[in-house]
Amino acid sequence: MTREQDDWTGNQWREIFSIRSPRTTGNPVKEAEMDININDIIIHVHPELPADTRDEVVTELRDDNGVLSACFSADNVHALTVAYNTELINSSDVLQHVRHWDQKAMMVGM
């Protein structure tokens, strides 16, 4: 995988999360770009956190307003990566959500 394929930028997120609204005239779908600020963080949880609990963490985070994606690393099950809209939620809020399952979870940056 090349760096371009692996490097998610704000523009790529904007493409994915663009607003699409069909016109009533039958014309093709019109796309309007969203102007959002996206940030990524990595949160360290206990490596022995059960798989079903990790699934619950991801599901709840994804349901949270402002969180765009959440996933655990396949190679490092203690590393949770979260992408979020900084205008709707902040990193401290994301960390507090994760601490519902692991009180010692720590933000390690990105």
Residue 38 has pLDDT above 60, yes or no: yes
Question: In sequence order, what are the beta bridge partners of 40?
Answer: 83
CATH of residue 29: 3.30.70.100
Q: Which residue reads 């991801």 in tokens?
A: 58
At 87 the three-state DSSP class reads: coil
Checking if the pLDDT of 29 tops 50, the result is no
Number of folded domains in the chain?
Answer: 1
pLDDT band of 24, cuts 50, 70, 90: very low
Residue 36 binned pLDDT confidence (cut-offs 50, 70, 90): confident
Write the CA distances from 86 to 10, 37, 67, 101, integer angstroms.
Answer: 12, 6, 9, 23
**Range of the structural domain that residue 101 is part of:** 3-109
Looking at residue 32, its pLDDT comes to 44
Q: Is residue 89 scored above 50 in pLDDT?
A: yes
State how far the Cα of 102 lies from the Cα of 77, in Å rounded to an integer: 13
Among residues 18, 8, 23, which one has the least CA distance to residue 82?
A: 8
